[in-house]
Structure 1
Amino acid sequence: MSVAELRPNMDFWQERVDMAAAFRWTERLNMHEGVANHFSLAVNDDGTQFLMNPNQMHFRRIKASDLLFLDANNPKTLEGPDAPDPTAWGLHGSIHRRCPHARCVMHVHSTHATVLAALADSTLPPIDQNTATFYNRYVVDNQFGGLAFEEEGERCASMMSDPKVKTMIMGNHGVLVIGSSVADTFNRLYYFERAAETYIRALQTGQPLRVLSDEIAEKTAQELEDYPEQDVRHLNELKAILDEEGSNYAS
């Protein structure tokens, strides 16, 4: 059955299905934070209209049809009965207004990314292939200002203006990643958590780190950026597993 036959009256259905799969897999990997974290996906040309998860719904239960359709330029968004979480609106709405290149935005408090964000030095040195993925492609925010209501969201959005910077290590908070699609962004989120785990575990040994040279780190990062379709294939495999299990994510 085609996507149109499944949901003939709901726009952006394939985007919704991809988002729902990302929520479900993030929960499976225990990278969620109860009902506190949020993903969003721009669906118009300037990025100001976007899909986002409903307020206080657990990632494990989110279906494609549950996603909110929001307009970052609508000042009355928080007044409706299906209003999003105010902190999600503050952070994601600000980024979609200010950063049209941020088509998809994912923010979590996953364990190892948050440990990294809690260190006095939250930089991520290139000590393996995964950590090298982010070489010169992230920013560290050292100015945590509390919950991400609109003022804090605007401040964070101002740090994501460079299209090359697709990951923000949010000091004392967690991680935020952006990308061109759900597949691109989820892939980056997944590998950032893996990279942070490798680094944290390496620090725990107490042994000196073998850090890659700047030249090799940049070469590795660029090769991974150019690797064909790895992100799409990753998400497609996750959807195939969910489908085989009879999950209702795509409903």
Structure 2
Amino acid sequence: MSLTIDIPLSSPQSRNEQTLREDLAAAFRMAVKFGWNESVGNHFSAAVSDDGSKFLMNPKWRHFSEIKASDLLLLDANDDSVMESEEAPDPSAWCIHGTVHRTNPKARVLFHCHPPNATALATLQDPTMKPIDLNTARFFGKVAIDLGFGGMADEAEEGRRIAETLGDKPVLIMGNHGVSIAAQTIAEAFEHLYFFERAAGTLLKAYATGQPLAIMSDNLAAKTAAEWGPYVGMGDAHFDFLKRDLDRTEPDYRD
């Protein structure tokens, strides 16, 4: 199913692409374990080229639990003709991922999904991630919010608005829709999604008590967010552990 370019297997570019393929396939399998997948929808992507325009993404309607490294499509964000091919990706995936990778080369990795807590947060009139603990404060100043929901994201204008709203933020709350995560690496994107889903769950549980929230001041929230900086290596360590677990239980993700 994969669309590939003719590059010698011994070349650095080929080795880099294979590593991305394996890590992205692992991310799909992990998402299932954490309950973030939804039927055969939602999409994760990772840029292969320096300008971000060539990127890997899961094929249309393939369940996350079955995705292997070789299944991933290699797409060109500047080539709309792919949507006329037999291996065309899902239109909403092309709309979001194609536009972001074409217009924002800093977003090397983009995860879009509808995990339960983040999606529930996105349905609130005010979906702001309030800093009420360490995990929620982690995202202070790092979340963009798009309240311009216009139905299924399958039109060019919808894709441009999403890409522009995301900007340089790692998290985009998509009102009435779900969440998108942007990062430099697959491990970083996975860690952002992991902590954002946990943070959303904490905030929703706090809302459910009906009691006033103990919201941090902006200064304290900013200080707490900055204090996460030295822990950036946690994401790599966490992802490596999860891959080791997959190697024991589902090693075919590397195929």
Q: Return the TM-score normalized by structure 2.
A: 0.92
Cα distance in 1, alignment partners of residues 58 and 219 from structure 2: 40
Cα distance in 1, alignment partners of residues 231 and 84 from structure 2: 44
Q: Which residue identity is paired with 2:141? A: N
Q: Which residue identity is paired with 2:185? A: S
Tell me the secondary structure at the aligned position of residue 76 of structure 1: helix
Given that 2:111 and 2:181 are in contact with CA atoms closer than 8 Å, whether structure 1 keeps it comes out as yes
Aligned to 1:66: 71
Aligned to 2:61: 56
Identity of aligned residues (%): 47
1:108 equivalent in alignment to 2:117? no
Aligned to 1:223: 227
1:169 equivalent in alignment to 2:184? no
1:233 equivalent in alignment to 2:213? no
Aligned match for 1:249, one of 231, 248, 253: 253
1:246/1:26 CA distance change after superposition, 3 Å? closer
Aligned to 2:38: 33
Deviations 1:109-143 (A, max 9, x none): 11111110000111111001110111011111111
Q: Which residue identity is paired with 1:201? A: K
Tell me the secondary structure at the aligned position of residue 252 of structure 2: coil
1:153 equivalent in alignment to 2:159? yes
Aligned to 2:4: none
Q: CA deviation at 1:160?
A: 2.0
The runs of at least 4 consecutive aligned structure 1 residues that moved more than 2 Å come to none
Tell me the secondary structure at the aligned position of residue 178 of structure 1: strand
Cα distance in 2, alignment partners of residues 75 and 131 from structure 1: 38
Deviations 1:188-208 (A, max 9, x none): 011110000000011111112
Could you tell me which runs of 5 or more consecutive residues in structure 2 were left unpaired when the two chains were aligned: 1-8
Tell me the secondary structure at the aligned position of residue 87 of structure 2: coil
Given that 1:99 and 1:160 are in contact with CA atoms closer than 8 Å, whether structure 2 keeps it comes out as no
Aligned to 2:3: none
Cα distance in 2, alignment partners of residues 141 and 105 from structure 1: 16
Tell me the secondary structure at the aligned position of residue 231 of structure 2: coil
Tell me the secondary structure at the aligned position of residue 248 of structure 1: helix
Q: Return the TM-score normalized by structure 1.
A: 0.93
Q: CA deviation at 1:225?
A: 3.2
1:16/1:78 CA distance change after superposition, 3 Å? same
Q: Which residue identity is paired with 2:48? A: V
Given that 1:124 and 1:196 are in contact with CA atoms closer than 8 Å, whether structure 2 keeps it comes out as yes
Aligned to 1:210: 214
Alignment of 1:72-87 (within 5 A): 72-87=77-92
Cα distance in 1, alignment partners of residues 233 and 165 from structure 2: 28
1:121 equivalent in alignment to 2:126? yes
Q: CA deviation at 1:144?
A: 0.2
Number of equivalenced pairs: 244
Deviations 1:187-240 (A, max 9, x none): 101111000000001111111211122122111212213424111111100000
Cα distance in 1, alignment partners of residues 198 and 171 from structure 2: 14
Cα distance in 1, alignment partners of residues 229 and 61 from structure 2: 34
Cα distance in 1, alignment partners of residues 55 and 186 from structure 2: 12
Tell me the secondary structure at the aligned position of residue 45 of structure 2: strand
Cα distance in 2, alignment partners of residues 226 and 140 from structure 1: 26
Given that 1:146 and 1:152 are in contact with CA atoms closer than 8 Å, whether structure 2 keeps it comes out as no
